[in-house]
Amino acid sequence: MKTQSHTAPGSRKSFLKKALMAGSGLTFGSALSGSLSTLKASESGKPDSVRGGKNGCWAPTTCNGCASWCSLEVYIQNGRATKIRGNNASKVNEGKACPRSHMGIQELYDPDRLKQPMKRTNPEKKRGVDPGFVPISWDEAIDEITDRILELREKDETHKYMMVQGRNSGLHPIIYDRMTRIIGSPNRINSDGLCQEAGKLSHWYQCGFWGFPQWDLKHTRYIICWGTDPVSSTRQVSHHNSSWGKMIARAKVAVVDPRLSATAAKADEWMPIKPGEDGAVAGAIAHVILTRGLWSKEFVGDFKDGENRFKIGQTVDEELFDEKLTKGVIKWWNLELKDRTPEWAAERAGIPAEQIERVAIDFGRAGSQAISMVGRGPVAQPRGSYNALAGNALVGLVGAVGTEGGNMSGNPFFNEPLPGPDDYLDQTAKNGLGHPTIDQRGRLDLPAIFQNQAGTGMVSNKAADGVIDKDPNEIKVAISYYGNFAFSAPGARRWEKALGSIPFYVDINTHPSEVSWFADIVLPAANGMFEKNAPVVRHGNRHRHVTLHRRVVDRLWNVKSDETEVPWMIAEKLAEKGFPNLLDHYKTYRDPETGAEPQNGEELELFATKHITQNYWNPDRHRGGDKFESWESFYNTGVWNSDPYVLKRRWGNMPTESGKFEFYSEPLKRAITQHAEKHGLTTDQVMESANYVARGEQAFIPHYEPPVIIDEGNNDGLILVDHKSRLNREGRSANSPWYYEFKDVDPGDVANQDVAKINPKDARRLGISEGDDIVMSFKENSITCKARLWEGVRPGTVAKSYGQGHWAFGRRASLEFGKKARGGNNNEIIPAEYDRLTGTSAYYATVRVRVSKA
Ligand SMILES: Nc1nc2c(c(=O)[nH]1)N[C@H]1C(S)=C(S)[C@@H](COP(=O)(O)OP(=O)(O)OC[C@H]3O[C@@H](n4cnc5c(=O)[nH]c(N)nc54)[C@H](O)[C@@H]3O)O[C@H]1N2
Ligand SMILES: Nc1nc2c(c(=O)[nH]1)N[C@H]1C(S)=C(S)[C@@H](COP(=O)(O)OP(=O)(O)OC[C@H]3O[C@@H](n4cnc5c(=O)[nH]c(N)nc54)[C@H](O)[C@@H]3O)O[C@H]1N2
Ligand code: SF4
Ligand SMILES: [Mo]
């Protein structure tokens, strides 16, 4: 059944122009300051309309619970969300929703949400010290923010402005890119560097796309999961949940993970690898595939005379091999693989050679129907780029590139870009944009490669050091939104220090968060899933979908959309004060249907959404996939689907330099060489400074890099194996009651607790028993939690789910709001380390922590 009674805003007949909720009868008292109550307004204020009616209706929208961006439906009664399910119209998640999607409603109606703008009265910015927030009006808040921005502009100091973005929607360029550039700052910092850029690097240099692949689960015969738990995490959890059961009845699954994940528990092979040794195992698998003659002759080619010369320890003459759709297989063999036997790998990885051999043979036999799914485990590590290249290279070796049952890039899509800012950049802005960025990208030890260019990648986590050290310059004004780096970034305490040192800092957030604690002004954001319009793009299941976040409920509080309404207000106020460029720019985002200029932030949001998606809903501009009659019909369906992936569409025309799948990469060589030349050094010296062992040509092929795990010289310590919970909506579900109640959905975990899973052998040695309170520490930082003795972790490691340990995120997430954390945040004991080639933060195989009874 599909009921659609939600009218499309902006359709000619139903243009919504509602008065925004005014004022809100606050009950703040200074006496309450210091407690959580200071961060919330009263629940007064009337709904701006009553929608859904008493009997209700299903309305499509898009989940913002994780980076899967599933297309969902919400049941709305009297303007309130009451239930969630998948949207059948999506060909990516096919009407399915994962378990944590339901917590979206708890997030939406969380009584601890920010309900109105607030201003700090206590200048001392420190954990545990009450900020003394008091309510202010939106106008007062925007007035102060624009004063600070204009001050920078007057002094030609716009490079001292910083924008920090966590999560986002397709409308993010409005605040993140256009606003920052028109103000005149190079400092656009987002969360990419906290995520998985090293994985993208492997797809770029080998297959020619900077992004995430998709996998054809419905036809595959073998999957190796490298440090990913696809039924709990990754980017298509709803689709994986619904397809995995049928898939494992037909295909085999091997999971490489030091921890028995939910996926490993149902897999054919669990390979509890020593953290950081993924490159060794991937190399050995490639070695076996070649020595046993299991590579794809169709894709890779063959020896001219048909005789397999891949023999242990023996180099091969390139002339003897007729390589087809790949580049560099013989170089790769000669430089790296010839000695990478399963026995060699077994010694390092601590898993049996026979198992490595068996997995390699089964994977090789599955051929073009084999998947090598490389998750964050092996790549978000120091030296992770080379693990990523090694894991993804297997896809090329068996020719499972864009094949049925194989690995593929995302389908083409046709978003219409928003107008560019160039005409609105004045000389002040241009001066500001010429400065280096605060994240120190491009320094000798931080090549930070993005696509073919060194020095252009996002080193998100380094920005904290840049701010603290005022290097390359001071940051005087900062705005952040939809992110919580003082919780989500390794070395989290540095962010407390950094944010606390910025003279004027604004956070736009749905919740009081660890970052908002340090803000001078806190702006309450509309909830991304239920209270704003915006498009998002994702792919999976051989399709791409462009799915809409929609305003489907009545806003209960005085909140605004982070990416549109807030920057619009800033633009208007800047114009009032004599700097009209931003507003003039935003006015170019016209309604593609009527040509009307936006008159307010709500219209900016709507017109931008219509603009970006016009090639889907305007039948005259249709370029493929679902075809709609009108904006209204698209809005009411909530999602556009691409045509199915055309199998083997990139065979022979891979968008790499050679048009082939590249084991050996000239563009990578050029990027590293360019970085070396900039610093007047050799590529070997760059490798050394950036902490890699590769020298010479090895740097341009997938190869083994030993892990670099930091310790304090304490061999007693355990290597931390961080992992996401099935119920993590990244770092932001910790104030939902269900997060705790159902925590035992993660193998080894316990409901209502935060546990560290320790192998009984280690526990005995450390004198720790089941249920003990324990301390985990690294250098001066420590966290506390409970011990769980469990054989699902490799001896020598300790596995702990990320997500708890909030000290300022609401009444349930913290034991004492603002002061005392509930459970422990792993990011406080993971030091800030990097895969330096890309600037990706390291989480795994990064630190050996001390574990002891509390
Ligand atoms: N230890 C460890 N750390 C990790 C990870 C891990 O696996 N382990 N994962 C990493 C990864 S992959 C990523 S991508 C990053 C993500 O890190 P972040 O981008 O920082 O994401 P969150 O921690 O979820 O913080 C989101 C913030 O936005 C607020 N919020 C929620 N909804 C909205 C909204 O609609 N609008 C606005 N304006 N605000 C909203 C929340 O209250 C919260 O403060 O975390 C990284 N951190
Ligand atoms: N449940 C849930 N799903 C999510 C999100 C969420 O917050 N919660 N966030 C989304 C986001 S932003 C992202 S980026 C994706 C990320 O999804 P994935 O790429 O799947 O990565 P993670 O979930 O971070 O999982 C890291 C895994 O690596 C394992 N690991 C640790 N050390 C090692 C090692 O040395 N080697 C190997 N092989 N494995 C190791 C951990 O046990 C864990 O299983 O998930 C998305 N989906
Ligand atoms: S997988 Fe992520 S985006 Fe999809 S329903 Fe679950 S939480 Fe939402
Ligand atoms: Mo991520």
pLDDT tens digits, 45-79 = 333 334 677 889 999 999 999 999 999 999 999 99
Instruction: With beta carbons less than 8 A apart as the criterion, state whether 322 and 299 touch.
Output: no
Sequence-separated (6 or more) residues with CB below 8 Å from residue 125? 131, 499, 500, 501, 517, 518
Q: What angle (nearest 5°) sits at the alpha carbon of residue 215, between those of residues 211 and 218?
A: 160
C-alpha count within 13 angstroms, C-beta hemisphere, residue 208: 17
Sign of torsion, CA 748 752 756 758? negative
Task: Give the pLDDT score at 50.
Answer: 44
Comparing 594 with 19, the larger pLDDT belongs to 594
Residue 398 alpha carbon to ligand 4 centre in Å: 28
Residue 484 alpha carbon to ligand 1 centre in Å: 6
The number of beta carbons lying within 10 Å of the beta carbon of residue 196 is 23
Structure tokens at 281: 């195992």
Residue 67 alpha carbon to ligand 3 centre in Å: 7
Query: If you take atom 24 of ligand 1, which residue's CA is the nearest one?
Result: 731
Task: Give the pLDDT score at 52.
Answer: 77
Only one residue has tokens 């005259």, namely: 620
Q: Give the mean pLDDT of 602-613.
A: 98
Closest atom of ligand 1 to 730 CA is 24
Question: For residue 349, which of 498, 226, 496 has the smallest C-alpha distance?
Answer: 226
Closest atom of ligand 1 to 484 CA is 20
φ and ψ at 507, to 5 degrees?
Answer: -120, 130
Closest atom of ligand 1 to 723 CA is 7
Structure tokens at 701: 């092929």
407, with CB counted inside 10 A (0-12, 13-18, 19+), is: buried
Residue 319 alpha carbon to ligand 1 centre in Å: 51
Instruction: With beta carbons less than 8 A apart as the criterion, state whether 527 and 537 touch.
Output: no
Three-state DSSP class for 609?
helix
Question: For residue 464, which of 498, 427, 515 has the smallest C-alpha distance?
Answer: 498
* Residues β-bridged to residue 165: 190, 481
* Residues β-bridged to residue 761: none
Q: Give the mean pLDDT of 464-489.
A: 98
Q: What angle (nearest 5°) sits at the alpha carbon of residue 459, between those of residues 148 and 670?
A: 130
Question: For residue 120, which of 557, 516, 524, 474 has the smallest C-alpha distance?
Answer: 516
Task: Give the pLDDT score at 10.
Answer: 57
* Nearest ligand to residue 240 Cα: 3
CATH (one of 3.40.50.1100, 1.20.58.1030, 3.40.50.740, 3.30.420.130) for 118-195+421-537+559-596:
3.40.50.740
Which residues have CB under 6 Å of ligand 3?
Answer: 63, 65-66, 68-70, 97-98, 100-101, 237-238, 729
Q: Give the mean pLDDT of 328-346.
A: 98
Residue 816 alpha carbon to ligand 3 centre in Å: 30
- What's the rounded Cα separation, in Å, for the pair 793 and 273? 10
Sequence-separated (6 or more) residues with CB below 8 Å from residue 184? 152, 153, 158, 159, 161, 425, 426, 428, 429, 430, 431, 432, 433
Query: CA-CA distances (angstroms) from residue 468 to 130, 192, 839?
Result: 22, 21, 18
- Is the shortest distance between the CB of 166 and ligand 1 below 6 Å? yes
Q: What is the domain partition of the chain in residue ranges?
A: 118-195+421-537+559-596, 199-401+654-663, 718-853
Provide CATH code, domain 718-853: 2.40.40.20
> How many helical (H) and strand (E) elements, i.e. helices and strands, does the chain have?
24, 33
Which residues have CB under 6 Å of ligand 2?
Answer: 66-68, 195-196, 226-229, 232-235, 237, 256-259, 261, 273, 275-276, 278, 375-378, 721, 723-724, 726, 728-730, 844-845
Residue 384 alpha carbon to ligand 2 centre in Å: 14
Residue 598 alpha carbon to ligand 1 centre in Å: 31
* Nearest ligand to residue 168 Cα: 1
- What's the rounded Cα separation, in Å, for the pair 547 and 535? 6
φ and ψ at 81, to 5 degrees?
Answer: -80, 135
Cα–chain center distance at 247: 26
φ and ψ at 135, to 5 degrees?
Answer: -70, 145
Residue 378 alpha carbon to ligand 2 centre in Å: 10
- What's the rounded Cα separation, in Å, for the pair 665 and 642? 31
Instruction: With beta carbons less than 8 A apart as the criterion, state whether 825 and 783 touch.
Output: yes
Sequence-separated (6 or more) residues with CB below 8 Å from residue 363? 222, 224, 254, 285, 289, 370, 372, 394, 398
Note the CATH architecture for domain 199-401+654-663: 3-Layer(aba) Sandwich (3.40)
pLDDT single digits (tens) 690-738: 999 999 999 999 999 999 999 998 778 999 999 999 999 999 999 999 9
The number of beta carbons lying within 10 Å of the beta carbon of residue 161 is 25
| Summary mean pLDDT of the chain | 94
Kind plus residue range of the DSSP H or E element containing 287: helix 278-291
pLDDT single digits (tens) 515-574: 999 999 999 999 999 999 999 999 999 999 999 999 999 999 999 999 999 999 999 999
In the predicted structure, residue 231 carries a pLDDT above the cut 80: yes
DSSP-derived letter for residue 226 is E
- Is the shortest distance between the CB of 488 and ligand 1 below 6 Å? yes
In the predicted structure, residue 2 carries a pLDDT above the cut 70: no
269-271 sheet: strands from edge to edge: 269-271, 252-256, 222-226, 370-374
- Is the shortest distance between the CB of 167 and ligand 1 below 6 Å? yes
Residue 483 alpha carbon to ligand 1 centre in Å: 5
* Residues β-bridged to residue 135: 118
Q: Give the mean pLDDT of 263-284.
A: 98
- What's the rounded Cα separation, in Å, for the pair 86 and 653? 36
- What's the rounded Cα separation, in Å, for the pair 293 and 141? 68
- What's the rounded Cα separation, in Å, for the pair 338 and 75? 59
Sequence-separated (6 or more) residues with CB below 8 Å from residue 307? none
> Which of 233, 235, 269, 798 for mutating ligand 2's site (highest number of atoms within 8 Å of CB)?
233
Residue 802 alpha carbon to ligand 1 centre in Å: 11
Q: Give the mean pLDDT of 478-505.
A: 98
Q: Give the mean pLDDT of 829-853.
A: 98
In the predicted structure, residue 687 carries a pLDDT above the cut 80: yes
> Which of 102, 257, 348 for mutating ligand 2's site (highest number of atoms within 8 Å of CB)?
257
Closest atom of ligand 1 to 196 CA is 12
Query: CA-CA distances (angstroms) from residue 369 to 232, 251, 525, 774?
Result: 23, 10, 45, 46
763, with CB counted inside 10 A (0-12, 13-18, 19+), is: buried
Least confident window among 18-27, 142-151, 214-223: 18-27
Instruction: With beta carbons less than 8 A apart as the criterion, state whether 529 and 63 touch.
Output: yes
